[in-house]
Amino acid sequence: MPITTCIFDAYGTLFDVNAAAREAAREPGRTALAEVWPKLAADWRSKQLEYTWLRAVAGQHCDFWQVTQDGLDWALEAAKLDDEELRETLLALYWQLSAFPEVPDMLAELQGAGFKTGILSNGSPEMLEGAVKSAGLSELLNATLSVETVGIFKPHVTVYDMVCDHFGCANDEVLFVSSNGWDACGAAGYGFQTAWVNRGGAPMDRLYAKPHHVLADLTTIPALV
């Protein structure tokens, strides 16, 4: 069936997860952070995701804001940055992550062509609302779906179920787009058409399914569908 619905992961796909550390590092007096911010951002993201998987497997769910804080605390300790004020600054910035430059025009083009658009994210509803409003994307999305509805993180199948339940569409009518290779693989295994936005040129994950498309950014999504 033709694609009717375009669904996007949020963090790393629509929103730049490195923006908080990068912007904080530019502030006056942040010399120590400026020297290590790329590694701190990478560690923060890595632990944030790792904790979602471990909690899902262990049946110990919490919301994404908690794992975001836990991941940052690990990254700050690894960087030997014992600075509570810096911690609070980084967390505050995470609520207003910038969208990648191509995102507004891409979503507007999809909606103009009649496609339904939405987010399916590990993020808590409050976090997602803050990011969407901060980036000015509210009018460009038909729905923002959070895993808090089902109480488990991606790639559990009940998370992907939310899309068809909400939009009333079949699996093969959905193009699911993620910058996380494991998420794109999980969605492909579920039955969505999938696009992996591989901005960093990473190797393909060795999992039970593979994404149907691999893109450098989101610019070509309207042409793809």
Which residue has 């492909």 as its token pair? 188
* Cα distance between residue 171 and residue 10, in whole Å: 20
Q: CA 129 from chain center: how many Å?
A: 13
- Is 83 in the active site? no
Residue 144 CB coordination number (10 Å): 19
* Cα distance between residue 102 and residue 196, in whole Å: 16
- Inter-CA distances, 122 with 45, 74, 177, Å: 13, 20, 14
180: Cβ–Cβ under 8 A, 6 or more apart, which residues?
9, 12, 13, 49
* Cα distance between residue 122 and residue 64, in whole Å: 6
Summarize the chain as % helix, strand, coil (round to 5).
50, 15, 35
Residues facing residue 177 across a β-bridge: 8, 195
Choice among 9, 16, 43, 183 that is catalytic: 9
Q: What are the catalytic residues?
A: 9
